[in-house]
Structure 1
Amino acid sequence: MTETPSHRKATADAYDAVSVLYAEVTRDALDAQPLDRAVLAAFAELARTNEGGPVAELGCGPGRVTAHLRDLGLDVFGVDLSPVMVDLARETYPDLRFEVGSMDALSLADGSLNGIVSWYSVIHTPPQDVPSYFDEFCRVLTPGGHLLLGFFESGDDPVTEFDHKVVTAYRWPIDDLAKMAAEAGFAEVGRMLREPREGERFRQGRLLMRRGS
């Protein structure tokens, strides 16, 4: 059996330990974030117009964004590294499908997804490993499928490690992530930077991309 990389195990263990509190704190987060809802709605509209398979939220946590995408009319399921988070998601949204898995080694066929949402889920990945995640996203997306990435943005600073409340995370310059995605085969559709709201420390980045043919 291949050993789970240490950063993946640390992330899964950390989220297992705080899963119930995390679910409570984030349950209504989208209610106060109209710009985030707008970006998710734009992704959903694009996904509905492209023929293909279902949409996956990768790094779904307790499933709130997966459920929101379902409410936007998408055939969607969630994948997360944390077994406890997946159990919580299944309990909270019994009508939706949730699986334990890693975003860089998905048990999915090539081109089987119509869209991917990675909402603050690559933030815990060491920078040198992020390209392999984009490669995997490209592999499982159908040509023309869309990827929506949410992350903490670092402005003019290079990729920067910070003390995330759960486990070590990284802030990224939006241009660096866009370039990395392009090298994996994605074309940028649009981007958004949102200033931090009350209780947030950093500017928030969103990248909407489309897989090439």
Structure 2
Amino acid sequence: MITITAYSIILTIFVYLFALLVAKKFPSPFTTPVFLSTSIIIFVLVVNHISYEEYQPAKTIMTYLLGPATVALAVPLYKNRHILFKNFLPALVGVFTGTLFTIITAILLGKLFKLSNLILTSLSIKSTTIPVASEISKIIGGDQLLVAAFVMITGMFGAMFGLKILNGIKVSNPFSRGLSLGTISHGIGTSEAVKEGELQGAVSGVAMGISAIITSIIVPLLIPWLIK
């Protein structure tokens, strides 16, 4: 097991570095590092008959190390604190509106396709980072595996297409771009915002955190009313 864990960690690191090089040389939504590296790792694990349960200890170690990496977001946040304070109220309104909208639309679209209540419940928290979404799912009765899948898919979609969609609708303000990515596509979207600019990354990190707080408060209140 130790050998598989070490192999999985090394594999993940090298595949991600490879994906960064590919994304730099061939920029495309489908060469976005998170999407490309995830696809390659899944393929390698399947070919080598390594199950998710065997890969999970490596995932746990790397997830733990994300803590110090997340703290690093405080640096651009501190540097851009004056801009954040100046725009705090409109940003708060934007995050609240975006968070509420993504929850309600997810449930309404799910109902349109006649999805089960379990799927609807799990889908409602798709735009929140996994640690927060996992805790909320325990309260509202969601499925942990479905929640993790929906959160990952949402984050990847945001990372792959978020900036391109913003370009398409002519959203050029760095503050607005960061706010959008952080609100809708949590940490994975924030990683793309950081690459675009320091301000975008700082705003996206704040939006991700505020969105998580708002979701944890309103979803338990809305679910009984929206899912009947």
Using the size of structure 1 for normalisation, the TM-score is: 0.29
Q: Which protein has the bigger strand share?
A: 1
* Rg larger for: 2
Using the size of structure 2 for normalisation, the TM-score is: 0.28
Q: Which protein has the bigger helix share?
A: 2
